[in-house]
A = this chain, B = another copy of it.
Amino acid sequence: MALQCKKQVIRKDQLITAYGIIEMKRGVSVSDSDGAEFVPLVVIELAEDIKEEAVTWLLNRIKDKQQLGGAELLVDQLPLGGQGDQKGNPNMFIVGATWSRLLSGAEDVGLVKEFSDGSMRGFTYTNKDNFKDFLGDGDGFLSIAECQYIIKHELDTLRAKDETHIPGYAQIKLYPGKSIMRRMQSKGVLVQIFPLHDKEDLKKLSLSWYRKVKISYQPLADIRHYFGESMALYFAFLEYFTFALAPMAFIGIPYYLFAWEDYDKYVLFAVFNLVWSTVILEVWKRCSASLAYGWGTLSRKKAFEEPRPGFHGVLGLNPVTGREEPIYPNTKRQLRIYLVSVPFVLLCLYLSLHVMMIYFHMEVWVIGLHEEEPTFWTSLLLFVPSIIYAVVIEIMNRLYRYVAEFLTEWENHRLESSYQNHLVLKVLVFNFLNCFASLFYIAFVMQDMALLRQSLATLLITSQILNQIMEAFLPYWLQKRRNKKVHKRSQRTMVDRELPLTEQVRLEADMSTYLGTFDDYLELFLLFGYVSLFSCVYPLAAVLVVLNNITEVYSDALKMCQVFKRPFSEPAADIGVWQLAFETMSVIAVVTNCALIGMSPQVKAYFPESDTQLILLVVGIEHVLLAFKFILAFVIPDIPKHIQIKLARLEFQSLEALKKRKMLEAAGMPSKS
């Protein structure tokens, strides 16, 4: 969709040496203010009313040599566009870099690439020729997503030198070492910064991914190439999850068709389910380790994490780096978490339960009313409680999300990762309760299995359909309509159907921003809950979830490629806190399934005299299953043996190299690296 303005390509021969990554047929370049040409990779949008001196200063800092503390990137202002009728933000800048700058940046961010001997090693500029895919001047060595990630990193680590504030804005304070872009972003002077789509690549990717309906694996390597590791890992998990549920779905169908009420067999099914869900979660760790190893994120060393943009505090010395930066006492944060956030979350959970109880009371009241005097109006009235409850839940979810974000922001976490973890935890707990509380109530208080089955099916199906419409198709349709308008407008003035760069950038700037994989994982998490928590009363859930996941792949792919701005690639070695969330869910599933089995009349029939024996037996089985789960998780290694060996080999080699180097140094000989 982007980077298409063949007319603008000038001096092709120069471009090859300066920037080898994009094949010439779709090479795009713009001229830097100094006349240097570059391919635009990232767009910076500043506030419309920003002061001129701030812009000049920022551009100079971006262009400055690294020795002078600059980022040494190429940057140019985006022209206002050909059409006068359209008023855009004039302060949009496109950023690129020379090839060698990108390579040295790859070293800064710690990219891990395949070495000539097949091992994965941290890329170093001096050693570049020894890496496997580094041919000639390195054409194709870095993917565009990696280049954009590098530019983002270099911009983020552009630090204030001796400036005390941003020129023209005395109130936006700076101190030596503060990241300029982060400060500008948190103060609203920087509106957004986003990487550009690449129409050619995108077309190829979408063709192999979702344009054709076919039975094959997803093109994970291409997805990773275009969107980065974090996205690729999400799609890999989605695919894995679908395949892993297939056996459960397969076994579930005959249960649904032939043995609806035969609990003896459900016990078998539930036990299989519980063991299976433990195994698939453990095996996923191994799969994700294999993927991450191949992508070079498993052995990647984490760079020192910068404070997140919103972090504030009294200026002090960071005890780790010794640099000046805001310091916020940990005890204060802990107090905020435990005295405000935790009670608030608990209050919300209580409220949510209360609303649920009101709903059940309303339901009973309406049914009573209808049974007393059944008229047309009372039969309509029967639907009212569910509708009200659904609406209220939706409103509560949204409200809670805002408050959770506000609270987590207010807790003032220094690191983005810790902010994310606290936010995920808050939202997760609340969503879990909202989704499953009514089912728990039906199952364990009302003990009405038929109703449970019915509610489960209704919830599962409606939430799936609603989700996919709201999340992908509706935005896609809106986006499509907008695109058409722009196309029409530009066709009025241009002969070529391809949009010029300026239009393209402005179009992408208006696209919605993808806010990360959070909501996608949350959806999978809730689906996993539907499958595992009540699997023994509704074996068909797995079938529904598998069907949903298959369409989910397509709708998510469509969403990523057509609806949203391209997101910056995020290196990721695993699915992080979600692994823990899924594992916790599978522990809870053991408890609920055992309880459901114990409550079934068929099982109860075996213990006609006393419930006591039955309960003790069920509790005993539950404990054994839980113990078995933990032993299983302990026995299955998290990293496959062959990856462990590769990692150990690398470590051994680096230790040996260090020893050799030291022996040479001790012998007075100069060390060669």
Chain A residues with CB under 8 Å of chain B are 104, 107, 124-126, 301, 303-304, 319-322, 330, 591, 610-612, 615-616, 619, 623, 641, 645, 648-649, 652, 655, 662, 665-666, 670-671, 673
- Pick the residue among B126, B619, B645, B649 that contacts A662 (CB under 8 A): B126
20 other contacts beyond A301-B655, A671-B673, with CB at 8 A cut-off?
A: A107-B662, A124-B662, A126-B662, A126-B665, A304-B648, A319-B645, A319-B649, A320-B645, A320-B649, A320-B652, A322-B649, A330-B641, A591-B623, A610-B611, A611-B611, A611-B612, A615-B616, A665-B673, A670-B670, A671-B671
Closest 6 CB pairs of A and B: A320-B648, A611-B612, A320-B649, A319-B645, A615-B615, A304-B652
CA distance A75 to B671 in the complex (A): 34
A616→B615 CA distance, assembly (Å): 8
- Can you pick out 25 interface pairs between chain A and chain B where the beta carbons lie within 8 Å of each other? A104-B666, A107-B662, A124-B662, A125-B662, A125-B666, A126-B662, A126-B665, A301-B655, A303-B655, A304-B655, A319-B645, A319-B649, A320-B645, A321-B649, A322-B649, A330-B641, A591-B623, A610-B611, A611-B611, A612-B612, A615-B616, A615-B619, A665-B673, A671-B671, A671-B673
Majority DSSP secondary structure for residues of A touching B: helix
Measured between beta carbons, the chain B residues less than 8 angstroms from A322 are 649
Task: List the B side residues contacting A303 at CB < 8 Å.
Answer: 655
Interface centre among A125, A662, A673 (most CB of B within 10 A): A662
Cβ of A321: which chain B residues have Cβ within 8 Å of it?
Answer: 649, 652
Q: How far is the CA of A623 from the CA of B670 in the complex (A)?
A: 64
Distance of A594 from chain B, by nearest CB (Å)? 10
Determine which residue in A320, A648, A662 has the highest number of CB atoms from chain B within 10 A of its CB, and name it.
Answer: A320
Smallest CB separation, A50 vs chain B (Å): 33
Q: Contact: A126 with B666, CB < 8 Å?
A: yes
Q: How far is the CB of A115 from chain B (nearest CB, A)?
A: 15
In the assembled complex, the Cα of A320 lies from the Cα of B619 at a distance in Å of 47
A611 to B619, CA, bound (A): 14
Residue of B nearest to A616 (CB): B615
Residues in B whose Cβ lies below 8 Å from that of A662: 107, 124-126
A524 to B641, CA, bound (A): 35
Q: With a CB–CB cut-off of 8 A, which chain B residues contact A301?
A: 655
Q: How far is the CB of A377 from chain B (nearest CB, A)?
A: 42
Query: Complex: how many Å from CA A648 to CA B304?
Result: 9
What is the CA–CA distance of A477 and B130 in the complex, to the nearest angstrom? 68
Q: Which residues of B contact A641 (CB under 8 A)?
A: 330
- Closest chain B residue to A321 by CB distance? B652
